[in-house]
Amino acid sequence: MKTTLYFNHTRQRPDRAKIRMEWIQQVIDHPEKIVIQSDGRVRKWAKIAEENKYLRVILLEDGETVHNAFFDRSFREEKA
């Protein structure tokens, strides 16, 4: 998995250190929602069952380099 220096730096924060790399890969591979930002970066969300929270992963424009990953407290499931 390719990552940015920013991602590597933020992984040292206590709230980010507990986010498992396999969870990040899960979000990349099986997102529940995808949004392309105006700068070309890709936001992906998926629920992490073990935490009962939604993880947001932000990828660079290449669609594969992880720039950021965090539990998104503001994410709401879309009702069908």
Ranges of residues in the chain whose predicted pLDDT is under 50: 80
What pLDDT shows up at residue 78?
62
Residue 78 placed within a domain? no
**Residue 76: its pLDDT value, please?**
76
List helix spans (H) across 14-80: 14-17, 21-29
Show the domain range for 9: 5-71
Domain membership flag for residue 80: no
Residue 46 in contact with residue 24, Cβ under 8 Å? no
What total of structural domains would you count in the chain?
1
Is 22 part of any domain?
yes
**Measured distance CA(33)–CA(35) in Å, rounded:** 7
